[in-house]
Every structure is written in structure tokens, then in C-alpha cells.
Structure 1
């Protein structure tokens, strides 16, 4: 807080002594009395000085008709915004102080996302193995486990691959020639990734 006399405040704001008294009267009517030091000199927090400057500019540019109207408009604007100007400045400064940490945080998030994708893939493989071995049907008997179980995601996409086409029963020309086809790997043993 800055202690200022009315003369000093007039110099800071660039207004006459008479305007300073009008400004202070309107300010204290809207925001309450400013604190004073032991000698009775008003103490001005940075926020109060900023409000005084903004009210002076609003009256100077004829956006409002009086200082009181300017301060009332500032109160309404402050109520609409979730942060006061000092709080917003502190928050912005804290963010600026930590800008250097953002690349490291982004790298950490990418690494965690990669790990999460790998865990999801492993869980899908485990569910597929459990489904193929019949353990999933046993787990469905348990009401708590049943709520968590659904068709394995790997099984959903490959259900069409598992059903043989109608022409698959007829031997191909290669099989007729005596050449053996390599063994087909079951769909649930396909490598992931």
C-alpha cells in the first residue's frame, strides 16, 4: 500500500486537486473508506489506484457522467469477472514463472498416454484369453464381475474374421495340386501392435 497525500494523488493521476476530492469522495462512497496510516494519510492499495485511473479515464472519455457512476460500473464488472485484477495478475505471474515446466509436463503426459495405451492393449489381450478359455463365463456368474464384463474389444472387430466364408469348404486349386498351405493362426493369437 502506498501512502499518498491528495496533492501526490493528483500528480499520479494527472488531475486537479478538486478532481482528486471528487474521485476520493465517490470511491469511498462505493468501496468504503480507504485505510489510513498513523498520521491520517490515506493508504492506496494497487487495486485502488487502478480503479481510480480507470474511473478517471471513463469520465474523461465520456463513457459515464460521473465518478460515482464509473465506480459502480467497475463494481459490476468486477462482480462479473471471477478474479479481481490483483488476483488475476498474481495468477498470470505464477503461470509465467512456470512456463519453462510446460515442455516437461507435455512430455510426461505423452509418456503416460503411451503407457496407458499399452496397458489397455494388455487388458484387451487378457480379456480375450479369458474369453477364449471359458473363464469369462465363470466370472459372469459373479454379479460384481458381470457388471465390468462385456464383449472383449478385440473379439468385436474380429468376429467376422472368425466365421469361415461359405466358399471356404471347397478346396482351392493349390490344395488340389498337393501343396500344403501354411497353418492358419487362430484370430485370437494374432500379435498386437
Structure 2
């Protein structure tokens, strides 16, 4: 072996040995590794020093009138309400697109039912063969209003619908997508806890 190569090999061994001493063999992360938390004078919560009072955390913002509605209607729960509103939205939208709104009378106000009925009548036979949601509609509680004995809760829906439309020339059904963003307001008479929530208003929203 030439002396130059042997000399370079010796230098490489020395360099690797020095790196081994400085860095060690261990690399990566183990489950028992615990991050160190710097101690400061402003430490709070579980890292507070003994005898030091933890600073109060800011309260989570709540929707205006939510507590007032719960005080009037002990059965109201915002999480359950949003889920039920989403289910109602899906059922009403699909029934409307099929032209089957007779079964919705008890879930709609007179004004909303009247608008839906006129729209179905004007559409006539020009309706989709099949309508479905591409994904579950995105549902958010938007606003709560209380007026005397009425509670009005507005919910924002973002959805995408898939339509299968008939071909006037008798060909294969055509498919079309439609995205919608709407505010639906559900209303309830608070005089009795058994009164149902009904859809009282539908309006466009920004996507």
C-alpha cells in the first residue's frame, strides 16, 4: 500500500475517534427522554415554584346568549344541537331536491314551507334523479338570539352536493356538483321545553 494512502487512513481513524468521544454513540429519540423546562420567575401551572400562586388563565370565550338560552331551556346542549341541525339539514335538502316536502311541514315554519312548495312547483318534472352529499356538511353554530319567549339559533352550513340529472334527449344521466354556503335559523317557543325546533329562515352565506 502506498505510504500516502496509509497516512490518510490513519488521519481518518483519529478524526472518527475524536468524534466518537465528543458525540457518543447515541442518536435518535427514546420514549423515556424528557424535555427540560427552563425555570423562570413567571412560571405557571404545573411548573410553578412552591409557594408561588399560579396566574389565572383567561376564560374561554362563549357565544353571546348561550348561557341565557340554557337557563331558559335546560335541555339545550350546543354540541347535540349542532349534530341534530346537521341531520335536519341533510334530510330537508334531500327531500326538497326530490320534491318530497309534504313530510316536512312539522319541521318548517309556514313561510319557509310556502317558499319551498312554490320552488318545487315551479321546477315541475325537471328534478334530479339522485342527489347526495359528497361529504358531511360542515356545520357551525353562528348566532343565538332571544326575543321574549322565542329562541332563534342560526347555523352555518357548507356543503357539496352531487346531482345526477336526466338527459332531455334520453341519453345517460349527467352528473353535476354544486357547493353551497347557507345560514339556517332554527326557532323554538320557550314556553314549553317539549316544543320542537323548526326551520324559520334560510339565507345565503359566504363560503
Structure that is richer in helix per residue: 1
TM superposition score normalised by structure 1? 0.20
Which of the pair has more CA radius of gyration? 1
